[in-house]
Amino acid sequence: MRKRWAARRGSRRTAGDGPPPSASEEQLFGGRLLYDASWTRHDGDWFKLGARQSVAALPRLLGAAAGLAWRADRGAVLAVLAAELCRGAARAVGLLGVNAALAALLAGGTMDARLRSVIPIAVLLAAVAAVGAVCTAVSARFSEPLGPRVERLVRHSYLERSSRVEMVALEDHAFHRLLESAKLSAVSARRMVEQSVTVIGLLFSLAAMGGVLARLHWLLVLMLAVMVLPGMWATLTVARHRYESFHRWLQYDRAAGTVADLLTGTDAAAEVRVHDAGPFLLEHHRLMSEAEEAEQDRLARLTARLRITASSLTGLIAVATYGLLAGLLWSGALALAGAGTAVLAIRQGSTALENLVSRINVLHRESLHVADLRRFLAESARHLIRTGGGPLPRKVEAIRVRNLTFTYPGSPHPALHDVTLTVPTGRIVALVGENGSGKTTLAKLLCGLYLADTGSIHWDDVDAATADRAEIFARFALIQQDHVRWPMTAAVNVAISRTGHPVDERRLFSTAEDAGADFVDDLPHGWRTLLSRTFVRGVQLSGGQWQRLGIARGHYREADVLIVDEPTAALDAKAEEHTFNHIRAVADRGQTVVLITHRMASVQHADLVHVLHKGRLVESGTPHELLSDPDSRYRVLYDIQAAPFAHGPPRTGGRARRQESL
Ligand SMILES: Nc1ncnc2c1ncn2[C@@H]1O[C@H](COP(=O)(O)OP(=O)(O)OP(=O)(O)O)[C@@H](O)[C@H]1O
Domain boundary among 329, 353, 381: 381
Name which of 26-40, 194-208, 245-259, 518-532 the model is least confident about.
26-40
Q: Is the CB of residue 491 less than 8 Å from the CB of residue 411?
A: no
Tell me if 408 CB under 6 Å of ligand 1: yes
- Work out the average pLDDT over 286-298: 90
Tell me if 415 CB under 6 Å of ligand 1: yes
Q: Which residue has the higher pLDDT, 559 or 48?
A: 559
pLDDT value at position 4? 40
In a domain, 227, yes or no: yes
Distance CA(392)–CA(446), nearest Å, equals 13
Map residue 20 onto helix, strand or coil.
Answer: coil
**Ligand 1: centre distance to CA 442 (Å):** 10
Whether residues 418 and 360 fall in one domain: no
Q: How sure is the predictor about 51, in pLDDT bands with cuts at 50, 70 and 90?
A: low
Q: Which domain holds residue 503?
A: 398-642
In a domain, 8, yes or no: no
pLDDT value at position 49? 53
Tell me if 439 CB under 6 Å of ligand 1: yes
Q: Is the CB of residue 358 less than 8 Å from the CB of residue 433?
A: no
Whether residues 414 and 350 fall in one domain: no
Which ligand 1 atom is at minimum distance from the Cα of 413? 29
Q: Does 379 score more than 60 pLDDT?
A: yes
In a domain, 83, yes or no: no
Whether residues 196 and 279 fall in one domain: yes
Q: Does 431 score more than 90 pLDDT?
A: yes
In a domain, 180, yes or no: yes
Question: Looking at the whole model, is its pTM more than 0.80?
Answer: no
DSSP 384: B
Q: Which residue has the higher pLDDT, 452 or 272?
A: 452
**Ligand 1: centre distance to CA 441 (Å):** 6
Whether residues 310 and 408 fall in one domain: no
Distance CA(358)–CA(364), nearest Å, equals 10
Strands 462-463 and 454-459: antiparallel
CB-count burial class (<10 Å; 0-12, 13-18, 19+) for 512: buried
Distance CA(507)–CA(575), nearest Å, equals 20
Strands 428-433 and 454-459: unpaired
Q: Which residue has the higher pLDDT, 158 or 212?
A: 158
Burial 127-154 (b: 16+ CB within 10 A, else e): ebeebbeebbebbeebbeebbebbbebb
Q: Is the CB of residue 189 less than 8 Å from the CB of residue 366?
A: yes
**Ligand 1: centre distance to CA 438 (Å):** 6
Residue in 408, 564, 565, 566 to alter for ligand 1 test, most ligand atoms within 8 A of Cβ? 408
Whether residues 464 and 406 fall in one domain: yes
Q: What are phi and psi of 447, to 5 degrees?
A: -90, 10
pLDDT value at position 318? 84
**Which are the contacts of 263, defined by CB distance < 8 A and separation ≥ 6?**
272, 278, 281, 282, 285
Q: Does 409 score more than 80 pLDDT?
A: yes
In a domain, 129, yes or no: no
Distance CA(471)–CA(451), nearest Å, equals 15
Max alpha carbon distance in the chain (Å)?
Answer: 126
Residue nearest to atom 31 of ligand 1 (CA): 436
Whether residues 227 and 375 fall in one domain: yes
Map residue 449 onto helix, strand or coil.
Answer: coil
Whether residues 450 and 366 fall in one domain: no
pLDDT value at position 52? 65
* Residue 596, beta-bridge partner list: 431, 565
Q: How sure is the predictor about 343, in pLDDT bands with cuts at 50, 70 and 90?
A: confident
Map residue 161 onto helix, strand or coil.
Answer: helix
Whether residues 367 and 414 fall in one domain: no
Residue nearest to atom 7 of ligand 1 (CA): 408
Distance CA(149)–CA(71), nearest Å, equals 9
Average pLDDT, the chain: 83
pLDDT value at position 554? 92
Between the CA of residue 414 and those of 596, 597, 619, what are the distances in Å? 20, 22, 19
In a domain, 119, yes or no: no
Distance CA(133)–CA(289), nearest Å, equals 46
Q: Does 99 score more than 90 pLDDT?
A: no
Tell me if 435 CB under 6 Å of ligand 1: yes
pLDDT value at position 660? 42
For the chain, the distance separating the N- and C-terminal CA atoms, rounded to the nearest angstrom, is 47
Distance CA(357)–CA(336), nearest Å, equals 31
Amino acid identity at 566: E
Which ligand 1 atom is at minimum distance from the Cα of 441? 18
Whether residues 306 and 413 fall in one domain: no
CATH number, domain containing residue 299: 1.20.1560.10
Whether residues 152 and 250 fall in one domain: yes
In a domain, 360, yes or no: yes
In a domain, 23, yes or no: no
Q: Does 496 score more than 60 pLDDT?
A: yes
Count how many domains the chain has.
Answer: 2
Amino acid identity at 114: R
pLDDT value at position 13? 37
* Residue 489, beta-bridge partner list: 530
Residue range 219-273, pLDDT digits in tens: 888 888 888 788 878 887 887 788 888 888 888 888 888 888 888 877 788 788 8
Tell me if 412 CB under 6 Å of ligand 1: no
Residue range 498-527, pLDDT digits in tens: 888 888 889 999 999 888 888 999 999 899
Whether residues 374 and 412 fall in one domain: no
Residue in 176, 404, 431, 437 to alter for ligand 1 test, most ligand atoms within 8 A of Cβ? 437
